[in-house]
Amino acid sequence: MTPSRGAPAAPIGGIIRFFARGDPLTPGRLAVYLACTALALAINYQLGKEMAWDTLNYHLYAGFSAVHDRFGQDYFPAGMQSYLNPYANVPFYLLVTSGLSALQAASLLAVAHSIILWLTFELALTVYPSGTLRRRVTFAVCAVALAAVNPILLQQIGSSFADITTAELVLAGWLLLATAIRAPHPTRVILGAMLIGAAVALKLTNAVHAVAAVVLVLMVSRSLLGRLRSVAIYVVASGLTFSIVAAPWSYRLERRFGNPFFPLLNSVFRSPEFTTEPLRHFRFIPSSLGEALWRPFSMLDPVSMIHEELRAPDLRYAVLVGLLCLLAVQWLRAQLSPPGELRRGESPIDERLLAALGCAFAVDWAAWLYVSGNSRYFLPMACVAAVLVLALAFRVFEGRPKLRNYVLALVFAAQGLQLWLGTDFRWNSAPWDGAKWFEVKVPPRLATESSLYLTLGMESNSFIAPYLSPEAGLVNIGGAYPLTMNGANGPRVAALLGRFAPRVRFLALGKRLYSDGEQRFPSVSFVNGAVARFGLRVQPNDCATIAVPGLPPGLETFVVSASGEGAPPVQEGRAENTTYLVSCVLARDDTDHSAEIARQQVADRVLDRVEDACPQLFQPRRLPIDLRGNRLQRSYINTDLMAWVSHGQVNFVDPSRGDDLVALGSVSDWLRAPRRLACGRHDGHYFARLLPARGG
């Protein structure tokens, strides 16, 4: 039986028919769902336990902080990510601490993640509403397969990342709006808007999908008044849901920092405890219009740092562009041909819905490239793209099914080869060994003592928080946003230091605290340099070590100068698949640090002038100085750059891309007068060079 193309159906009736025995799609639908879940479980098992930087440094802590009130005892414990809405990370935290093995926990996550493929199947069926049952199911299965060969999706199956789970809310919302285009009903618009609003509240990067969905809403009705009514319903429903879901966490942030979205949007709310400069992460944003237009084809290249940190080649977007070009050629040919010469039969594709999805996808793609360009935040649209590719292939090669099948087979083969030879599937992984996700061996003293732990670098290691004493506190003093005793951060840190004194410790990666002569990390001088601004110094004879068996070496970034400064130190234990964290007591330091204060003032003045000479590279400006060994350094959140003053020289580097260090002249020259720089960004890489002084 061939379904009617446009027969409206009540939403409740559609749900009832979904589960009804009489629905001819039910057996095929259930078989596809089970196959998708089985595939997700197999992929998760093959890839191993995910132990990414994000998991260790803020994912687990986020879920922990959502369940336990940590505002009174922690401060920036996981860096600036500490205060992003944590509720999407709660399932991961509960699974990790439930007593389940890592494989069991990850398998449950993989089952939840497979739902995104179920939704892709349903969207494909909606786009292909007529034709035989066999053809409809075949079309939808091919769309699911094309969505499943997305390297970004495969990377995250069974992982701690919440990108897939929030993407499922977005895709479900788009699916409801798509069904509303075929069978208009306000309930579908409301439910779709609610799902999308919830997704944005849980992860603000989904906002671009919420905006692009307006294009779908505009197609729900054919009359102007009906379209305006649908848009109004969508805006109110999505906005109200966003407010309800975001309210509990936003209320706490507003009371604590005066910014309900802290640290985001701080250029609007202007909390004094974080930079008020605009935040916009440029890591994957094209630096020119040409780069933006070329992005679908640059994603073919199996190299890192194109649209994600890992190698994730993806040819589906280039294929989509190619099919659009062929469709345009066909349209032009039809316009130039004599009337009646080119005739088309009735297509099984709902062309109005296909046009709506295509336009909404184009708006989403442009907004996504402008805002982030990070494919981890594009997962729902990657599934939409799979449906669009299949639909366009059927439309372009209409009447030539063999050629269409050959083209699709070539696409699948080529993408499969890319996955096999050119894709990194985990940031950091460990084998399944029957153990829990984290096997943390904390010394009894640290497990019971309510100490304040100061973590020193970009690696906050906040995953340790659930395994310490419940009364312990964490403060990350040296991450992307270093904390100082000056300004609004100072009173917060001072209050915590006073509350926990004398139980104050540092916490860093390392098997023990090393003397300076051993040239290992962490060293006494490194720790003392980092904590001196808080009037503290380390007690080398009062240390304890935390062992984390099964945690392999993570991704670490070291900036190495020509003299070898900053070379990666050796860390004992990491080679044996065990990571160690060392913690030593910090005591009050009454040493005269006037010389260090003077050095910092010089560095502040010099780096201020460097930022003013090239504001497009060094942003946000005027961040606090952080002492890293002999370097007085600023880390720039927007551009991933590090600039520092050391040994009388000014340097900067982009460690995320492994670029060479760039020298910007001597400190003395910058102190005498501001220098001029020619600087910019090309192909994702930053450059800068000194220009002669005016009149020189």
Helices 163-182 and 115-127: angle between axes, nearest 10 degrees: 20
Q: How confident is the model at residue 597 (pLDDT cuts 50, 70, 90)?
A: confident
Amino acid at 256: R
- Are residues 287 and 172 part of one domain? yes
* Cβ neighbours of residue 290 closer than 8 Å, sequence gap 6 or more: none
Minimal CA–CA distance to 124: which of 111, 138, 105? 138
- Are residues 568 and 459 part of one domain? yes
Asked which of 391, 422, 453 is the last residue of a domain, the reply is 422
For the entire predicted model, the pTM comes to 0.92
Q: Which of 84-88, 180-184, 247-251 has the lowest mean pLDDT?
A: 180-184
- Are residues 451 and 410 part of one domain? no
Residue 251 CA: distances (Å) to CA of 69, 247, 556: 13, 6, 35
Does the residue 466 lie in any domain? yes
pLDDT over 90 percentage in the chain: 79
pLDDT in tens, 512-570: 999 988 888 899 999 999 999 999 999 999 999 999 998 886 544 333 444 444 444 44
pLDDT computed for residue 339 by the predictor: 67
Tokens at 109, concatenated: 């996550």
In the block, tokens 């966003």 appear at: 242
Q: Is the peptide bond before 263 cis (omega within 30 degrees of 0)?
A: yes
Q: Tell me the average pLDDT of the chain.
A: 90
- Are residues 400 and 284 part of one domain? yes
pLDDT in tens, 303-314: 999 999 999 999
What's the structural domain count of the chain?
A: 3
- Are residues 608 and 584 part of one domain? no
428 in Cβ contact with 52 (< 8 Å):
yes
Does the residue 398 lie in any domain? yes
pLDDT computed for residue 553 by the predictor: 63
pLDDT computed for residue 212 by the predictor: 98
Give the 3-state secondary structure of residue 663. strand
Minimal CA–CA distance to 616: which of 693, 694, 559, 687? 687
Q: Which domain, by its residues, includes 569? A: 444-591
Minimal CA–CA distance to 636: which of 661, 599, 611? 611
Strand partners, 581: 509, 546
Q: What are phi and psi of 685, to 5 degrees?
A: -110, 140
Query: Is 70 exceeded by the pLDDT of residue 3?
Result: no
- Are residues 475 and 349 part of one domain? no
- Are residues 288 and 369 part of one domain? yes
Query: Is 70 exceeded by the pLDDT of residue 442?
Result: yes
- Are residues 538 and 658 part of one domain? no
Helices 11-19 and 186-202: angle between axes, nearest 10 degrees: 80
Residue 586: its H or E element: strand 578-588
Report how far residue 140's alpha carbon sits from residue 357's, in angstroms, rounded to the nearest whole number.
16
- Are residues 397 and 453 part of one domain? no
